[in-house]
Structure 1
Amino acid sequence: MTAREPIRTSDAPPPAGSYSQAIRHQGLVWLAGQTPRTSDGARLNDSSFEVQARQALQNTEAVAVAAGTSLQHAVSVTVYLRDPEDRTEFDDLWRDFVTVPYPARAIVQSDLPGFDIEISAVCAIPE
């Protein structure tokens, strides 16, 4: 069995707790939930949904790239939204980061502490 490899990049905010930004293992990368924080950890919770969503997507992409993949290789994505009505606006932004075939995706309503969105993903590592 191969070891799990933690991924760390300064291009995304540091973990806010005892977890890795991502774990690479057996051809896949599991990305921890990314929120709308800048790479230095500043919270964008007072910003519009569009600004928050774009930052969360950029953070997710930065961690994926650090692991040797990208959201273009996502196989599953979970999007946590405070307000499910934001799903249409999210979907418009989402297409700037992924193309057909789109990954499997779930949108979950969540009472996020201080944010409107959080995104986690599983990405394949391209061969």
Structure 2
Amino acid sequence: MSSKKIIFTEKAPAPIGPYSQAVLIGNTLYTSGQIALNPKTMELVLDDIETETKQVMENMKAVLDAAGMSFENVVKTTIFIMDMNDFARINSVYATYFDEATAPARETVQVAGLPKGVNIEISMTAVK
């Protein structure tokens, strides 16, 4: 097995528990879920669901970048949301980060609760 490399960047929120922002094994990157924490202030960005989703995606972009990857490398995403009624608004922001023709596989799940009372959390798997 390839050795496990921990990915960390100050451009994304620091972990708030016993986990890493991402782990690289061989050519595959597994990210932890990102929520809408501003990495500079560690304050939540919850103005509206679009702004919250953009912060999550920007955090994920920073983690991907730290691993030498981009959204083009993403093969799978998981989106956890509090309210499925927000899906269309979330999707409109999410779609700006991917080319529809080569977009990753994805599942979107409504959940009963998320860390710090946020409305959305996204994790990704990427391959170089």
Tell me the TM-score normalized by structure 1. 0.93
Q: Which runs of 4+ in 1 moved over 6 A?
A: none
RMSD: 1.0
1:124 aligns with 2:127: yes
Counterpart amino acid of 1:106?
Answer: E
Please give the secondary structure, in 1, of the residue aligned with 2:125.
strand
Shift of 1:90: 1.3
Q: Alpha-carbon deviations, 1:18-51, whole Å to 9, x = none?
A: 0000001121100100000001311124x21111
1:15-94 mapped onto 2 (5 Å cutoff): 15-40=15-40, 41-45=42-46, 47-94=47-94
1:105 corresponding residue in structure 2: 106
Contact 1:81-1:117 at 8 Å conserved across structures:
yes
Contact 1:22-1:63 at 8 Å conserved across structures:
yes
Shift of 1:78: 0.2
* Number of equivalences: 124
Shift of 1:57: 0.7
Shift of 1:96: 1.3
Shift of 1:53: 0.5
The unaligned stretches of length 5 or more in structure 1 are none
Counterpart amino acid of 2:86?
Answer: D
Please give the secondary structure, in 1, of the residue aligned with 2:32.
strand
Tell me the TM-score normalized by structure 2. 0.92
The unaligned stretches of length 5 or more in structure 2 are none
Q: Distance in 2 between matches of 1:32 and 1:71?
A: 15
Q: Distance in 2 between matches of 1:95 and 1:73?
A: 15
